[in-house]
Amino acid sequence: MRTTIITFALSTVIALSVTIQPAKADCPLAHTHIGKNPTWRPADWGPPPSGAVDTDPTDDNQLWFFSIPPIDPLAPTPGWPNWGDPAETPFLRLVQETDAGGYPITKPGEPEKALYVSRFMYGLDGYGDPDGKQHLDGWHSAHGPQGAWNLDSTDEQTEPAWDIGLQRESTSMTDPTDFFMLRPDDSVVLDADGATYKFADYGEKMWLADKSAWGIHSHMAFHFWLDDPQLDDVFSATFTAFDDGGLYTPSDPFTFRFAVPEPGTLSLLAIAGVFIAGRRRA
């Protein structure tokens, strides 16, 4: 079954996703950040950095996830550190994938379910802003103010001991196989509750020259098989981060919430993503 899913997804997902893989220093894609010290906050987001508040000094070595911080000049996330306010309609959007002929991609053996992916533009001007960032794709290490969230790093020649990975905890889907993640090489990962993924195993623990630090840069897309989704439907997936290197304690669960936008905005979100892909290739 998984081989069939990969074959069906390849023609569209690779065409729209892999072709926009940019240089790490100017990545236009929105990532979920993984860092440490979840209760530390800067007193002032602006430069020069000064002062901080830490409501729980005992969690300085605990991992955590967060969305794009308020200081980002292109696409600060409403509801930070979550991807949107958990009490409101999901910020994250899903658009339907189609094949080369423009037809929906259906799940093998369950043709009533069509393939959806989180791919939309968002920026200072809201959804569809071509000057924002394409959401939502993969993971990145935290490189935050005053270095308080940063993972351990000394120099390029010294690989840090941390060995960070993800564990899929749960999904809202009745059939757990209706949610999975897809890497740029079209391999399916995190496709079952309890499944894990370690960044070092895929060469995604690396020296980041633009950050002058060791970190994580990983591309993968959020995919759902959905049966006639309605505007008030919410689809979710929950993850934790762990460190097999022993430097950091596991994160608290972090839930991603998605919704399908109104029909009038669906094409705008999808077209914007394709437009940016073409613009970045030029």
In the chain, the number of structural domains is 1
Contact at 8 Å (CB) between 35 and 63?
Answer: yes
Query: In terms of pLDDT, which residue wins out, 5 or 203?
Result: 203
Contact at 8 Å (CB) between 134 and 120?
Answer: yes
Contact at 8 Å (CB) between 78 and 135?
Answer: no
Tokens of 180: 């999975």
Tell me what percent of the residues of the chain surpass a pLDDT of 70: 83
Contact at 8 Å (CB) between 141 and 33?
Answer: yes
Mean of pLDDT over the chain: 87
What pTM was estimated for this model as a whole?
Answer: 0.87
Say which residues have a Cβ less than 8 Å from residue 213's Cβ, sequence separation at least 6. 141, 143, 150, 151, 153, 207
**Is the pLDDT at 24 greater than 80, yes or no?**
no
Question: pLDDT tens for residues 220-272?
Answer: 999 999 999 998 899 999 999 999 999 999 999 999 999 999 775 554 554 44
Q: What is d(CA 239, CA 254) in angstroms, rounded to the nearest whole number?
A: 5
pLDDT at site 21: 40
Residue 98 lies in a domain: yes
Furthest CA-CA distance within the chain: 57
Residue 205 lies in a domain: yes
Confidence of residue 135 (pLDDT cuts 50, 70, 90): very high
Residue 204 lies in a domain: yes
Residue 246 lies in a domain: yes
Residue 49 lies in a domain: no
Residue 51 lies in a domain: no
Average pLDDT (117-137) is: 96
Q: What is d(CA 35, CA 216) in angstroms, rounded to the nearest whole number?
A: 10
Give residue 120's Cα distance to chain centre: 12
- Residue 90 sits in which domain range? 2-39+57-281
**Is the pLDDT at 17 greater than 80, yes or no?**
no
Contact at 8 Å (CB) between 78 and 87?
Answer: no
pLDDT at site 183: 97
**Is the pLDDT at 144 greater than 80, yes or no?**
yes
- Three-state SS string over the chain comes to CHHHHHHHHHHHHHHHHHHHCCCHHHCCECCEEEEECCCEEECCCCCCCCCEEECCHHHCCEEEEECCCCCCCCCCCCCCCCCCCCCCCCCEECEECECCCCCECEECCEEEEEEEECCEEEECCEECCCCCEEECEEEEECCCHHHCCCCCCCCCCCCCCCCEEEEEEEECCCCHHHEEEECCCCCEECCCCCCEEEHHHHCCEEEECCCCEEEEEEEEEEEEEECCCCCCCCEEEEEEEEECCCCCECCCCEEEEEECCCHHHHHHHHHHHHHHHHHHHC
Question: pLDDT tens for residues 40-80?
Answer: 999 888 766 779 999 999 999 999 999 999 999 999 999 99
Tell me what percent of the residues of the chain surpass a pLDDT of 90: 77
Say which residues have a Cβ less than 8 Å from residue 72's Cβ, sequence separation at least 6. none
pLDDT at site 27: 85
Confidence of residue 3 (pLDDT cuts 50, 70, 90): very low
Residue 148 lies in a domain: yes
pLDDT at site 45: 80
Residue 50 lies in a domain: no
Residue 271: Cβ-neighbour burial (10 angstroms; 0-12, 13-18, 19+): middle
